Structure 1
Amino acid sequence: MAMQVIVRKWDKQEERLVKASEDEEERYIQAVKNLEFDRNLGPYNLSHYEEWKQLSNFITKSVKERLEPIGGEITVECEDDVVRSSSANKTPMENALDKQLKAGNSATSIGKSQRKGCYYTPIPRVVKRKGVSGTELTSLNLDKTQLLETLLAKEYGGSEDLLLGEVQFSFIAFLMGQSLEAFFQWKSLVSLFLGCTEAPFKTRTQLFTKFIRVIYYQLKYGLQKDRIGESVLPLLDDSWLSADSFLDRLCKDFFSLFEDGSVVDGDLLSWTRKFKELLENNLGWEFQPCSAIEEDDEFAPQVEIIGDEA
């Protein structure tokens, strides 16, 4: 069976792809066969293909169209408002990271972009509901399952893969694009997932299996410091993932959910154990059952009691 080849080109005036004419199509085909384009191409690093696939397998065209800024360029030059608005909630570690990212980008930035940043989904840190009792409100904040369901339905059209795509997009934009805005979004999404106690076991087991796999590969890649034949800086330094970081505290609570003997899906349990071992082996973290929430824990659920309102 003959393979059909369709050649498309970019129409600058209409700003869209259009099908090339038959003559153009034949010239492109012959040019490919004659390797005429090869001299203008850079080598593709196949050794990191599997890593990249694990970091981006949920990033589809739909995910990019939802999140990319106008023009497609992600730059810290348009993130001043984001940094300022988040400064009150940043830890000393994150303030240090802020300075590091600004210093690294100031040397290469030219001019000030007037475009806004990425169109990330707003993730509330605290659930607020009118007309519910204080007990119900406390429950909604201790278990983010209902918030997860609401966001999936309202913001992602029920698509779990779109949500996972945003987790991957924000991580890549932070790690490789040096975007502090992306870090805060990744942190918010991870906090949402790890703040759920019912969803992993009852309503969204498959979603959590995929999420744990996603964050496992993200941190496995980010924690690599030395690569054979390459000279690279650590992608994630120790201060970013210190023992008092938000991730350490959330993981302690999340891992403790698997210690009560409840029936757990095999794949979810397997990937959770792998994730836990990664943190223990690479960062030296120790996960002991948490007996109580520390009073000064910034990442503990914050509950605002709202009286019944009509």
Structure 2
Amino acid sequence: MAGVEMDPELARNLFEEGATLVLLGVPEGTELGIDYKTWQVGPRFRGVKMIPPGLHFLHCSASNRQGQGGETGPRTGVFLCLKPRDVLLAHWDSTEEDLNFSASQNEEEVARVRAGLRDLDRFLGPYPYDVLRKWVSLTDRVTQEVVQNLQPLSGKICAFADVIPELSLPHTQDRVQQNLPRNDTECQSMKEGLERLPKMKLREGTELRFSEIPKQNYPEGATPAQITQCSMDLSYALNCLLERYYKQDPLKILGELQFAFVCFLIGNVYEGFEHWKQLLNLLCRSEDAIQRQRDLYLNLITVLFHQLGEIPPDFFVDIVSKDNFLTSTLQEFFMFASSPGVDHGLRKRAVKFKAHLTKKFRWDFEMDPDDCAPVVVELPEGVVQD
């Protein structure tokens, strides 16, 4: 874990006020990181010092150093809300191949570690201050309350879902009673083979607790015209979500948007990406809300500006359809944001944001989508069409 050069005065302040993570027993070669930086642990590593107070994401991946190419396992992480001069203690759990913070509940052990920090200092790597600005820009709306509400009850963010069978059916007779195929017969088709696989569910306490996106975009008893309108303008569904989860402060939905994005970008949790897409779709396709929720959408643009700066331009392009979901979603947002009924400041900010994205990613927000347009097929060189 290499040191990071920083201003001496800043270093002194962080040494006095910064938090410390003492991480004992982490095997050499383990991939470990905090926030936006990742390292491979060396033989002398005992933790991280000079951590700025606030929200941080500690993550690690066990490494098979004997394996070909030093393969690493799936990433697991935990959000930490650190106070000035905090000392958190964790031991490596070789069975789970993860850090166990239960030692931080032992006040005597933590007190001994705190008293010996000077001796531990040479084994502690400094927080990578060069990534702090980027990290804060991605999480400035993720409060401790947001983390507590959305993270799994286990407290761990896992790249791979921890799943277990819905039913425990170890014996053939058990499967017969559930009308499932027997294990001792040959599969006659792919469908039959899939049916034999046990149905799985997430282990209780390991699932991310995101807000539930409304499955119905329109109110009960809506007329056909209202259903059509609510399908084109998702404001009703957005308002239902805000009323249920963020009634006191609608802007807190942006904290969930950031939380989902970080879970995907740094935690490698694909579910985070899917939820981020769904939330963004709901926000961008709500014409009435854009006119009424000025502050929400001004801040949404800021959040997206920082998020989209961290991903390659072609990331969102579907390899089959070549359709960039983000350009089509933002195209509707920019169209709604240009309406005369929208606040002048928001309209102006949206125009600047669209120009920025057009220049940086070369995304075309002006082309009218036309599903009925003919498809032009380019023939390979040397092929002559009759």
Partner of 1:42, secondary structure, is: strand
State the AA in 2 paired with 1:121.
Answer: S
Letter in 1 for 2:225: T
Aligned ranges 1:137-152 → 2 under 5 Å: 137-152=227-242
Stretches of structure 2 that go unaligned for 5 or more consecutive residues are 1-16, 18-83, 90-101, 165-200, 374-386
Give the TM-score normalised by structure 1: 0.65
Number of aligned positions between the proteins: 242
Deviation at 1:133, TM superposition (A): 0.7
Structure 1 position 153, deviation (Å): 1.4
What is the identity, as a one-letter code, of the residue corresponding to 1:257? F
SS class of match (2:310): helix
Match of 1:123 among 213, 229, 238: 213
Q: 1:246 aligns with which of 325, 333, 348?
A: 325
Q: Give the 3 Å change call, closer, same or farther, for CA 261–188 of structure 1 in structure 2.
A: same
1:241–1:273 distance in 2 versus 1, CA, 3 Å: farther
Match of 2:303 in 1: 214
1:180-218 Cα deviation digits (max 9, x unpaired): 1111100000001101112122x2110111111111110
Shift of 1:264: 2.8
The sequence identity of aligned pairs, in percent, is: 25
Is 1:282 the counterpart of 2:360? The answer is yes
For residue 156 of structure 1, what is the aligned residue in structure 2? Answer: 246
In structure 2, how many angstroms separate the alpha carbons of the residues matched to 1:7 and 1:246? 43
What is the 5 A alignment of 1:171-250? 171-201=261-291, 203-223=292-312, 238-241=314-317, 244-250=323-329
Which residue in the other structure is 1:230 paired with? none
1:46 is the counterpart of 2:135: no
- Deviation of residue 51 (structure 1)? 1.0
One-letter identity of the residue aligned with 1:255: F
Distance 1:79 1:282, change over 3 A: farther
> Structure 1 pair 157/133, CA: closer, same or farther in 2 (3 Å)?
same
Answer whether contact 2:232 2:285 (CA < 8 A) is retained: yes
Q: Contact 2:217/2:236 (CA < 8 Å) preserved in 1? A: no
Cα-Cα RMSD: 3.8
**1:265–1:80 CA distance, 2 compared to 1 (3 A):** farther
With the length of structure 2 as denominator, give the TM-score of the two structures: 0.53
Q: Which of structures 1 and 2 has the bigger CA Rg? A: 2
Contact 1:69/1:119 (<8 A) preserved: yes
* Structure 2 counterpart of 1:44, one-letter code: Y
Q: Is the 1:212–1:272 Cα contact (8 Å) retained in structure 2? A: yes
Aligned residue type for 2:314: D
Paired letter, 1:190? L
Aligned residue number for residue 158 of structure 2: 75
Structure showing greater relative contact order (alpha-carbon pairs closer than 8 Å, 6 or more residues apart): 1
Deviation at 1:18, TM superposition (A): 7.4
1:59–1:166 contact (8 Å) kept in structure 2: yes
